[in-house]
Amino acid sequence: MNFTKKFVRITFVEFEEIHQKIEPLIGKKCTNMRKAISNRNRLAVTLFYLASGDSFNNLSIVFKIAPCTIGKIITDVCEAIYNILKEDYLKTPSTVEEWYKIADGFWEKWNFMNYMGALDGKHMNIIKPDRSGSEYYNYKGHCSIVLMALADANHCFTYVNIGAKGSGSDGGIFN
């Protein structure tokens, strides 16, 4: 089993396809002070994190990159992946016919009438931002941001919102 399949859960070909698409958005230039981290390493760090959920400190040991830099890399690369792939993989229905097609899927597959999607929120723990008071403090007693997602009958996302403050309820965030 090669590195990409074992550690980042995709094939080398898939890794290269993603790399080719996002490379212009994640590239950094070398300076007199430091050598830039390669685009492939930036993508590998991000995919390894997404596949494993490992801590920045552990990733720091594996990739020999400072934890604070890893956090910045993951943010930048995730944003690039989203911006490049959203049209192909996260198309929110925009017409009545597209919404009816989703409802038909729920009826045919699950016998749920008039369902437009399955909606849920997931709290992702974060370190409390400075001067944020209780804005990010959730009902479980942690600071978090919320990932809110809507999926069709085949478990494919049709809408995603990430970053709402953890103090909000799922219903409040959806509104």
Q: What token pair was written down for 154?
A: 């085949």
Least confident of 13-22, 72-81, 129-138: 129-138
* CA separation for the pair 67, 47 (Å, rounded): 15
**Amino acid present at 150:** L
Burial class (CB in 10 A: 0-12, 13-18, 19+), 57: exposed
Q: 0.75 cut: is pTM over it?
A: no
Tokens of 31: 């300076």
For 75, other C-beta atoms within 10 Å of its C-beta total: 11
Please list the residues that pair with 149 across neighbouring strands.
120, 160
Domain boundaries, the chain: 3-88, 90-174
Residue 46 burial by Cβ neighbours in a 10 Å radius (0-12, 13-18, 19+): buried
Other CB atoms closer than 10 Å to residue 58's CB: what's the count? 14
Q: Which strands, in side-by-side order, build the sheet including 144-151?
A: 118-125, 144-151, 157-165
Would the pLDDT of 101 be above 90? yes
Structure tokens at 83: 């911006």
Percent of the chain topping pLDDT 90:
50
Q: Which of 142, 144, 139 is nearest to 165 (CA)?
A: 144
Averaged over 72-90, what is the pLDDT?
90
Query: What tokens does 139 get?
Result: 């009902």
Tell whether the model's pLDDT for residue 1 goes beyond 50: no
